[in-house]
Amino acid sequence: MLRLLVAEFGEMPLTKFTVPMVVEYRNKVKARASNVAANRHLAFLRSMFYKAIEWGKLNGENPAARIKLERENNHRLRFLSELEINRLLPHCHPRILPVVVCAILTGMRMSEILRLLWENVDLEHGIIYVLDSKSGKPREIPIAAKLDSILRSLGPKLRGSVFEMPEITLRRRFPEALRAAGVSDFRFHDLRHTFASHYIMQTGDLPALQKLLGHSTPAMTQRYAHLAESHLRAGIERLDASMDTFWTLDPSSLPEHKQ
């Protein structure tokens, strides 16, 4: 967050900040990320100005004090369809493509991906160890074959950052790829939803998904439960088909046919 603020305002004196400037910055964050992110940045600025006033570094009103927070939708579930994935990947700049693929195939958060170290990638056994997670609990994620190929093209190295990319580069290049691919109403965090949604549609395994995403409670993973319906229906259809080899019940023998 601090890096983005510095990139936007540089060494601008606190006395030069105005309400419209803060609103414009909040709107930029909202456009490229989410209402939640915009609110966090606004809260940070508001706190910064209050501290400056408290310490005698700023006279007058806090320019962020009266700006209203955006309404937050914590139940958003936007994910890429297979068609959208196929449209997006070719438009990703080579610099960010490995990061985007990693997000789609692991469900890792942006911060977890950008902080990933080679020391925590075991290509021999096909496991990524996420040690620096939001929940504070480490987890293991199996490496899919497509991701394995990309990781090997980047290294591997004994130590150091896997992707070697500043966040500002990803935040600039990813929206460019979305626009070029014609993908709208999408943010980087939705790649995590993309992984989770496709995983649950293929497996229907909510407990496993909870472990992969690092959710502390099953309730957090439950938002994807409705997507398991197609998997469950397919399972019933496979069960029904498997019984054809021994199923001998004649519908005409049912009581309703004897009346």
Which three-class secondary structure string do you get for 22-40?
Answer: HHHHHHHHHHHCCHHHHHH
Burial of 5 (0-12, 13-18, 19+ CB in 10 A): middle
Q: Which residue reads 């987890």 in tokens?
A: 139
Residue 173 a catalytic site member:
no
Residue 231 a catalytic site member:
no
Q: Which residue reads 């989410």 in tokens?
A: 34
Catalytic residue among 26, 192, 193, 198: 192
Residue 109 a catalytic site member:
yes
Residue 25 a catalytic site member:
no
Catalytic residue among 3, 57, 134, 211: 134
Residue 215 a catalytic site member:
yes
Give the angle subtended at the CA of 113 by the CAs of 111 and 116, to the nearest 5°: 105
How many other CB atoms are there within 10 angstroms of residue 252's CB atom? 8
Question: Distance between CA 212 and CA 109 in Å, rounded?
Answer: 11
Residue 192 a catalytic site member:
yes
Give the angle subtended at the CA of 161 by the CAs of 156 and 162, to the nearest 5°: 45
Written as one string, the DSSP assignment of 181-206 is: HT--S--TTHHHHHHHHHHHHHH--H
Question: Distance between CA 18 and CA 172 in Å, rounded?
Answer: 25
Question: Distance between CA 61 and CA 202 in Å, rounded?
Answer: 55
Tokens of 226: 């409705």
Report, as residue numbers or ranges, the catalytic residues.
109, 134, 189, 192, 215, 224
